[in-house]
Structure 1
Amino acid sequence: MTTAAPAPSGRDLPHPPRAEIRLESVLHALSDPMRLQVVRQLAADGGELSCSHFVLPVTKSTTTHHFRVLRESGVIRQVYRGTAKMNGLRTDDLEALFPGLLGRVLEAADRQEERLGAR
């Protein structure tokens, strides 16, 4: 599900247009376990989740960095809704550019978790 582009405001966050999303940036974003965890949670929810929903075992500044990498690579769209920064997968954009990639990565992550167990 792709979230709608936010209305212009002073709090807009930069996102790459679909045509500028690059495979190597997406793969880099998905290669980090913390970022992959965020993407898996967003995929499981199917909608938007606030940044405060995610409990990652890293500092707040590192969490912010991970969200920025996901946004700047084109994997997620972040928009402010009131005081909350909401996050949603750019599934439609990723599927149009790289058919099946996100689904296969998520399937592989699920299989890996089953194989290695929650550690």
Structure 2
Amino acid sequence: MSADSARARTLVHTEPVEVSLQVALDALADPVRRSILRDLAGHDDWTRACGAFDLPVTKATRSHHFAVLRAAGLIEQRDDGARRLNRLRRPEFDQAFPGLLAATIDRAD
């Protein structure tokens, strides 16, 4: 098994309909996570790699933030060589929590 396939196996994606409102709110409460979501909302799906975000946190903390967003059903990730690409799951999340993303990421902090 290659390192890429082992790494990809660690990705667990939660469906937004399986997420509690509290988990969704907790994920959206952090300003760093909201900045990630805003950035993704402004780009096409699968065009933003984790390392491309200008975040004021360490690499380990960055990984934690992406994991929280994935667990809350807000993002989907896939590996592309050495890069991990991201997609905002806005349609799915909006179906589970109508208006929540608009109320949190479509407005300035």
Query: How far did residue 46 of structure 1 move?
Result: 3.6
The answer to whether the aligner puts 1:70 opposite 2:53 as a matched pair is no
Once residues 51 and 22 of structure 2 are traced to their aligned partners in structure 1, the CA distance between those partners, rounded to angstroms, is 28
The size of the alignment, in residue pairs, is 102
- SS of structure 2 residue aligned to 1:103: helix
1:24 and 1:47 mapped to 2: Cα distance? 26
Structure 1 residue 106 displacement after superposition: 1.8
Matched position secondary structure for 2:106:
helix
Structure-1 residue corresponding to 2:24: 26
1:87 alignment partner in structure 2: 86
In structure 2, which of residues 39, 42, 48 is the aligned counterpart of residue 41 of structure 1?
Answer: 39
Q: In structure 2, what residue type is equivalent to 1:38?
A: I
Q: CA deviation at 1:107?
A: 2.8
| AA in 1 matched with 2:68 | V
Alignment gaps of 5+ in structure 2: none
Question: Which stretches of structure 1, 4 residues or longer, exceed 3 Å deviation after superposition?
Answer: none
Q: What is the CA RMSD across the aligned residues, in angstroms?
A: 1.5
Q: Counterparts of 2:106 and 2:38 in 1: how far apart (Å)?
A: 10
Cα distance in 2, alignment partners of residues 79 and 106 from structure 1: 23
Partner Cα separation in structure 2 for residue 98 and residue 18 of structure 1: 8
Provide the secondary structure at the position in 1 that maps to 2:105: helix
Aligned to 2:60: 61
**Which residue of 2 is the match for residue 117 of structure 1?**
none
Identity score, percent: 39
Distance in 1 (CA, whole Å) between partners of 2:93 and 2:32 is 20
In 2, the alpha carbon distance for the partners of 1:78 and 1:24 equals: 22
Q: C-alpha offsets along residues 74-118 of structure 1, whole Å, 9 cap, x if unaligned? A: 11111112221011111111111111211121233x2x3xxxxxx
Length-normalised TM-score, structure 2: 0.84
